[in-house]
Structure 1
Amino acid sequence: MQSTAVLIFANSSQEEKRYKPLQRGEVLFDSLTNTVIRKVKQSKLTYFHISEKHQKGTSFGERFSNAVQSVFDKGFDNVITVGNDTPHLQTAHITTAAKALADGKTVIGPSLDGGFYLMGIHKADFNRENFQNLPWQKFNLLKSLLDNLQENSFPIVQLPTFRDIDSIKDILSLVNHIRSISVSIQRLFALCLWTKQQFFLLEENLYTSILLQNPYNKGSPVLVHIQ
């Protein structure tokens, strides 16, 4: 039996649309989920897709931590977690994480918003209660996670930093780094941008006007990099 399994922690497109109100969002997230499942299958690792239908808990932290624990409870020593909202994630990142875990290392794939798109963790390194209490869906999640993991003995490997999709602005940013994104996803990006183009331009102009009148920067979150 394999010692490492992949957890795809991704909600249905209908649920994603509730929190990420993108035009054509359901079609986009259906495609993103199918794409990440295909990439995980190519890794030849056992995988489990846990959507909102099978998640347990009232908060995101509880649902995510319980999902990770459920995979360990199936007898696996290591779990690699991924979502469906990071189109630059490739099969190679998953296989790299699996090899690092086999070599006794922990793996983190940071997101630009201060979270992470991939986590490779050993059973001995996972404490469900501690994980539930991390600042989930906040800009300092990555730092808090790394602080938590560094208390243990496993060295940490960091994958490239990628952008995930939370809003139309993320899609616009991803368009500038489109090479490793599939053509089908690129076409869906184009549809999202086409239907929101005028509204986005209005929003940007309003934001710029307010910023010029009130030049205050509260500071950007700082990402922690592990060498």
Structure 2
Amino acid sequence: MKKTAIILFADLPGFEAKKKSLSNFSSQKATEKLSQTLTQHFYNLAKQSAAETFLIDTYHQKGKSFGERITNAFIDVYAKGYENVICIGNDCLDLSLELLQKSIVQVENNNVVLGPTFDGGAYLIGIPIANFDLIKFQNINWQNTTTFKNLQDLFYPDYVKLEVLVDVDYQHDFSFTKKDNPLLKVLLTVIKSFINSSNFSRKPLKAAFFHIDSAFLKGPPLFSI
């Protein structure tokens, strides 16, 4: 059998823009462009790893509920002959190649790997086929503040927990990412191209734009892969 595959499980930009608003200063088109940029980034990142990468977007997801769709994504990739599957989304900016490589090593040592988000979701789920229980996995309380706890309970105590990171559903969530993240500069360029205010157009935007005073920020949104 083949070793490990990475699934990038993400909505197409048009669908994602109906659920999220990634730029407070512009239109749905800006969110679509940011979504496209993020998906391309994480696809390229995964391709740099030692695993095969599959993009499973809205049109290629099968099932009515989120639980059915993500479960079917795992099943379909296992069916291609992979022993281990790692699933990520496109909205955790601080997910790095180093974390992906670490996860690959762990699943190839027969360990489940879980990456938690601050809001109770998960930014990475890695499962060796021997540990995959279709029914229990599908019945996880997905896209909820208890998603990660459900995953922990399912695989306890045999799992490896990665560092807690932030996912991004709204423009203010960028402020919770690491300030030295180079992806922020790329996203700034996209946002700037959609800003119509002359006040913003005269001044170069910097990564600090995302890191405004925490007093003006809401808590991180609900998330799961």
* Shorter-chain TM band: 0.7 to 0.9
RMSD: 2.6
For residues 186-205 of structure 1, what are the alpha-carbon distances to aligned partners after superposition, in whole Å with 9 as ceiling and x for unaligned? 4346678998x9xxx9xx88
Q: What is the total number of aligned residue pairs between the two structures?
A: 197
Per the alignment, residue 207 of structure 2 pairs with none
Per the alignment, residue 22 of structure 1 pairs with 22
CA distance in 2, matches of 1:55, 1:106: 23
Name segments (4+ residues, structure 1) moved above 4 Å.
189-195
Per the alignment, residue 161 of structure 1 pairs with 164
Q: Is the 8 A contact 2:108 2:128 kept in 1?
A: no
Per the alignment, residue 184 of structure 1 pairs with 186
Residues 53-202 of structure 1: matches in 2 within 5 Å?
A: 53-150=59-156, 155-174=158-177, 177-182=178-183, 183-188=185-190
If the length of structure 2 is used for normalisation, what is the TM-score? 0.79
CA distance in 1, matches of 2:194, 2:154: 38
Q: Is the 8 A contact 1:2 1:46 kept in 2?
A: no
Structure 2 spans left out of the alignment, 5+ residues = 24-29, 201-211, 221-225
Structure 1 spans left out of the alignment, 5+ residues = 209-219, 221-227
Q: Is the 8 A contact 2:8 2:53 kept in 1?
A: yes
Q: Is the 8 A contact 2:8 2:90 kept in 1?
A: yes
CA distance in 1, matches of 2:175, 2:162: 23
Q: What secondary structure, in the 3-state scheme, does the structure 2 residue paired with 1:114 have?
A: coil
Q: What secondary structure, in the 3-state scheme, does the structure 2 residue paired with 1:53 have?
A: helix
Q: Is the 8 A contact 1:168 1:192 kept in 2?
A: no
Structure 2 CA distance for partners of 1:193 and 1:164, relative to 1, 3 Å? farther
CA distance in 2, matches of 1:169, 1:117: 18
If the length of structure 1 is used for normalisation, what is the TM-score? 0.78
CA distance in 2, matches of 1:96, 1:53: 30
